[in-house]
A = this chain, B = another copy of it.
Amino acid sequence: MVERGLLIVFSGPSGVGKGTVRKAVFDHADCKIRYSVSMTTRPQRPGEVDGKDYFFRSREFFEDTVRNGQMLEYAEYVGNYYGTPLASVNQLLDEGFDVMLEIEVQGALQVKEKVPDGVFIFLTPPDLHELRQRLQERGTDDRKAIEGRMVKAREEIHMMSAYDYVVVNDVVDLAAERVKKIIETEHYRVERVIGKYEAMLDDLDKA
């Protein structure tokens, strides 16, 4: 029997570089990870391939999919729908692949409710990490800009608490390495392997 894969939810604030880091993960991926292709109602752009970049579908089709409970998560953004079709994710997981979603924070929270044993990774900008230092050099920023950053930092830290891991996107390749290590080590977590060992003991008892 094939062991079911892990659902990896890769998320973080808009503009943090999720797409770039995700691509770096897959560029060097030697492990069994698959990327889940999202469905969208936005128009196909030149060079984009249906079924590879996105599944490009009509609003009607998308809304039907949602109504039928066939969407793991979805969101409306600038007038278009974006979502993760449930069927394709489940098929890959059943085949033993780890499936990685790259989605916005709202969507990640929807997935967390439905798949609590997923692996939730929050990508955070280095400027949050370096916030203290940068604010100390406040001669370069006016007070309003500083307050704006503070509000944003607060929101981001609040979002973090729903996730399992925080990865700082300081250097893309380093961030991608951290993500890959997290995915690997999650496979060693007791709650994910103990069933296999219990079965092995049962076999020895029968022998």
B197 in contact with A124 (CB, 8 Å):
yes
In the assembled complex, A131 has its CB within 8 A of some CB on chain B: yes
In the assembled complex, A114 has its CB within 8 A of some CB on chain B: no
Interface residues of A in 75-126 (CB under 8 A from B): 122, 124
How many A residues, CB 8 Å from partner? Answer: 36
In the assembled complex, A157 has its CB within 8 A of some CB on chain B: yes
B127 in contact with A200 (CB, 8 Å):
yes
* Cβ 8 A contact of A128, one of B122, B124, B153, B204: B204
B157 in contact with A197 (CB, 8 Å):
yes
In the assembled complex, A72 has its CB within 8 A of some CB on chain B: no
10 contacts between A and B (CB under 8 A): A124-B197, A131-B200, A132-B200, A150-B204, A153-B201, A157-B201, A163-B190, A165-B185, A165-B190, A185-B185
